[in-house]
Amino acid sequence: MKINPLKGMKDYLPAEQRLRDYVQGRILETYRASGFERIATPLLEDMENLDKSEGGENLNLIFKVLKRGEKLDAALAAGSEKALSDMGLRYDLTLPLSRYYAANRDKLPTPFKVIQTDRVFRAERPQKGRLREFVQCDIDIVGDASPNAEIELIDVTARALLAIGFTDFTVNLNDRRLLRGMLEGMGFAPETLDSVCITFDKLDKVGPDGVAAELAEKGCPATAVAALRAFLGQGAADLSAVAALCADKAPAAALRQVMDAVTALAGGAYKVSYCPSLVRGQGYYTGMVFEVVCPAFSGAVAGGGRYDNMVGKFLGQPVPAVGFSIGFERICSVLLDQGFAIPAEKQKLALLYAPGADFAAVLKKAAELRQAYLVTVLPQGKKAGKQLAALESQGFAAAAFFETGEIKRFGQT
């Protein structure tokens, strides 16, 4: 039998899991204090729903589940590869939430402010920072079409990051409608905008010249490419300058409203910035998109946006929705590498008892010690020195001896 987890999946040692529990606990505490309610949905979703979810490149990373029994035999006999699967593991939490809301909307408030912290699965090529099974921490507001939803989500997410201990981060914002309006104003054809945005999203990696070169290779009009290159050459983009290129001024006005409100709420604790190259990968985003970037983490630690059409795919009528997801796995991985110490956590103590001890009395003593320590009850080993050294290596701060009441604190002579 193989002892290692499947490729792209991970076992977590106790110290890692304690950190994960702490981070998730602080996030949940902030979310719940802000009036959001937690739900849970199944790991598996209908394959047809997944295929129609507009999840961008994630649609190529779905773990599909084969049909069973006679249905599988019939699909194999038909020779249809697509017919082999009728369900798949969810690749994010947005599609499941949309289906959930459509099924339960008569029992839910409007707007519905919801928490999801759960596992998702993507058939990624495993590498550092990219697992096939990972946890997402999402908050969403369903049923509010106003920019107030974006403002609240950004505020709550920022406060969750501050609660974990982040102090130097920037919230970058853009609007898909503003971006598309700008590109159309430069001369890109409407039917090519999805492809143009994919290239534009690479700006941080390839620079303005790289973006222009790739768009030229795609056969985009030279005048449009030149206009975009000249725009990027100006450096930091001004929201007013971009709005001037767009026929529809409403997206820019809404974005300005959100930026001004969030800046006021930040009170200098974090920065807020307009980022015209921010695209976000999922195809279901319809309006504002946002990311949180932090220099200490070399990139984004949270992201999200508005997806007003997703719920409507189930109901046949539009339902406004917007969500924000914290990069839980990335945060935990970096904090672990940095040796992050959980603040104000009680120290671990082992209460050791000899053979024949009154175990009920041992547990009563452990309950007393738990006022000051996290207490683990263990039988006393034959070789005290070896046992104490092992406990210290496992992160215990002290050991107490039930029979004598002595407490030995590690690291002290």
Q: What confidence score (pLDDT) does residue 412 get?
A: 67
Q: Provide the mean pLDDT of the chain.
A: 90
Q: Could you tell me if 178 and 278 are in contact, meaning their C-beta atoms sit under 8 angstroms apart?
A: no
Q: Could you tell me if 399 and 388 are in contact, meaning their C-beta atoms sit under 8 angstroms apart?
A: yes
Q: Above 70 in pLDDT, residue 124?
A: yes
**Residue 317 vs residues 9, 48, 348: alpha-carbon distances, Å:** 38, 19, 55
What pTM did the predictor assign?
Answer: 0.87
Q: What confidence score (pLDDT) does residue 388 get?
A: 95
Rounded CA-CA distance 335/110 in Å is 37
Q: Above 90 in pLDDT, residue 137?
A: yes
Q: What confidence score (pLDDT) does residue 357 get?
A: 94
Q: How confident is the model at residue 334 (pLDDT cuts 50, 70, 90)?
A: confident
Count the neighbouring beta carbons within 10 Å of the beta carbon of residue 21. 11
Rounded CA-CA distance 130/156 in Å is 26
pLDDT digits (tens, 9 = 90+) for 142-154: 999 999 999 999 9
Q: How many Å is the maximal CA-CA distance in the chain?
A: 88
pLDDT digits (tens, 9 = 90+) for 52-86: 887 777 788 899 999 888 888 888 887 777 788 89
Q: Above 70 in pLDDT, residue 170?
A: yes
Instruction: Report the sign of the C-alpha dihedral through residues 43, 49, 51, 54, in that order.
Output: negative
For residues 338 and 5, the model is more confident at 5
Task: Say which range, 26-30, 61-65, 344-348, has the weakest mean pLDDT.
Answer: 344-348
- Tokens 């109901």 sit on residue: 315
Q: Above 70 in pLDDT, residue 413?
A: no
Q: Spell out the residues 6+ positions from residue 168 whose beta carbon is closer than 8 angstroms to its own.
A: 270, 294, 295, 296
Residue closest to 124 by CA, chosen among 11, 12, 43, 8: 8
Task: Say which range, 22-36, 318-332, 334-348, 376-390, has the weakest mean pLDDT.
Answer: 334-348
Q: Above 70 in pLDDT, residue 236?
A: no
Task: Say which range, 19-23, 181-185, 371-375, has the weakest mean pLDDT.
Answer: 181-185
* R_g of the chain computed on alpha carbons: 26
Q: Could you tell me if 330 and 301 are in contact, meaning their C-beta atoms sit under 8 angstroms apart?
A: yes
For residues 296 and 223, the model is more confident at 223
Edge-to-edge strand ranges of the sheet holding 85-89: 44-46, 85-89, 64-66
**Residue 35 vs residues 3, 182, 323: alpha-carbon distances, Å:** 43, 37, 15
Q: How confident is the model at residue 139 (pLDDT cuts 50, 70, 90)?
A: very high
DSSP-based three-state secondary structure for 115: strand
Rounded CA-CA distance 388/409 in Å is 10
For residues 244 and 28, the model is more confident at 28
Edge-to-edge strand ranges of the sheet holding 398-401: 373-379, 347-353, 398-401, 407-409
Q: Above 60 in pLDDT, residue 178?
A: yes
Q: What is the DSSP letter of 10?
A: -
- Phi and psi angles of residue 48, each rounded to the nearest 5 degrees, phi first: -65, -40
Residue closest to 62 by CA, chosen among 132, 138, 136, 134: 132
Could you give the angle at which helices 250-266 and 176-186 cross, rounded to 10 degrees? 130
**Residue 361 vs residues 65, 368, 399: alpha-carbon distances, Å:** 52, 11, 17
Q: Tell me the average pLDDT across 20-30.
A: 95
Share of the chain above pLDDT 70, in %: 98
